[in-house]
Amino acid sequence: MGKIDRLISIVMILLQKDVVSTTQLSKILNVSKRTILRDMETLSLSKVPIYSINGVNGGYGIMDEYKIDKHLLTNTDIENILTALNGLEQILFSKEVEATIYKIQAMVNSSFLKNTIHLSFYDWSGRQEILNVCRICQEAILKNRLVSFDYSDRNGILTNRIVEPYQLHFSEMSWYLKAFCLKRNEYRTFKLSRTENLSINKGSFVPRDYLDYQKSEEAYNSQLVQVKALISPSIKDHFIERYGKMSIETYNSDFLLATIYLPQDSIGYQFLASFGSKLEIIEPKSYVENYRRFLCELLEKYQ
């Protein structure tokens, strides 16, 4: 742990506790007592209001005026914030998120937190690689810097892209970059796992009107097709989670009728195919035919 990280950790510990001894700090941070004393001098010179108490129960504390007013947030408020941050930390592995969690925890005694909600995500080994890409994108977004990368589309065609990055987006199990593509001259969403050699360019850009971006999102949503499908009751929960209970109605003793909205492309077909024989599309006929072609192409690989 570097000196700067250690100083921040000391402040976080003092914010969470009333008085902490030199011995306790040296054990927590795995450094000598002499190092802790030097760190306290550094913090004092930096105008951090540290005070010391002599005696058996003595140690160091931080002035109450320096602490965040805990009355602004209830314990429930803080627990909700920590739940959201813990979920983000699981999918992003971010040191910044970890530091923020530490700060929020310092606002309240952790023994008062009930931890009524627990979020759990897949712990895939590839997430660490995506994290490095996310960090580069986040830096570029904050600094209004262009980003370049090689991108492989759904058909495996590789093209070089230079984009204006605007937002990182996590959907279901994947990270995406929402950006304006200078090659296509329009807003595009790029799946980060399909990028290679991603880097920040020297060039910067003036952010475009966000309303244009919202219009591009609305244009995509307008392309969704209403699909009616017969589904087995055993997969009912998947459709309730995605589309709500109102999307499902009784059809007969064996099947339910689901009315859902999907893109008429491989993304929509792959979603439907994941349910195997427990689902049958009945409308519209054009979607049924395109989905049948998709399945036939899939079966040809195994004949």
Q: Domain holding 52: CATH number?
A: 1.10.10.10
Range of the domain at 288: 225-300
Q: Among the three residues 189, 221, 253, which one is the final residue of a domain in this structure? A: 221
**Which domain CATH number covers 232?**
3.30.70
Please compute the mean of the pLDDT values over residues 232-245 and round it to a whole number.
92
Verify that 292 and 236 share a domain, yes or no: yes
In a domain, 121, yes or no: no
* Short-list 54, 49, 60, CA closest to 19: 60
State the chain's mean pLDDT as an integer: 83
Same domain, 241 and 286: yes
> Where a domain ends, among 221, 256, 277?
221
The per-residue pLDDT for 281 is 95
Does the residue 117 lie in any domain?
no
Q: How distant, in Å, are the alpha carbons of 225, 234, 267, 276, 287 from that of 271?
A: 14, 16, 6, 10, 14
pTM of the model: 0.56
160 beta partners? 150
Please check whether residue 201 is in contact with residue 162, taking contact to mean a CB–CB distance below 8 angstroms. yes
Residues 175 and 232 reside in one and the same domain? no
Nearest one of 253, 286, 292, 255 to 272, comparing CA atoms = 292
Total count of domains within the chain: 4
Residue 122 lies in a domain: no
* Assigned domain for 166 exists: yes
pLDDT bucket at 211, cuts 50 / 70 / 90? low
How would residue 251 be classed by pLDDT, with cut points 50, 70 and 90?
very high
211 and 141 within one domain: yes
Does the residue 293 lie in any domain? Answer: yes
Quickly state the pLDDT bin for 206 (edges 50, 70, 90).
very high
Within this chain, do residues 92 and 132 fall inside the same structural domain, yes or no? Answer: no
Q: State mean pLDDT over 245-258.
A: 93
Residue 177 has pLDDT above 90, yes or no: yes
Higher pLDDT, 76 or 10: 10
> pLDDT category, 125, cuts 50, 70, 90?
low
Q: Tell me, what CATH number does 186's domain have? A: 2.30.30
Provide the token pair at 209: 């009107």
Residue-level pLDDT at 154: 76
| Residue 291 belongs to a domain | yes
pLDDT of residue 67: 63
Q: Strands 195-204, 174-181: parallel, antiparallel or unpaired by DSSP?
A: unpaired
Higher pLDDT, 80 or 180: 180
Q: Which of 173, 200, 221 is the last residue of a domain?
A: 221
The pLDDT > 70 percentage for the chain reads: 82
pLDDT at 54: 85
pLDDT at 105 over 80: no
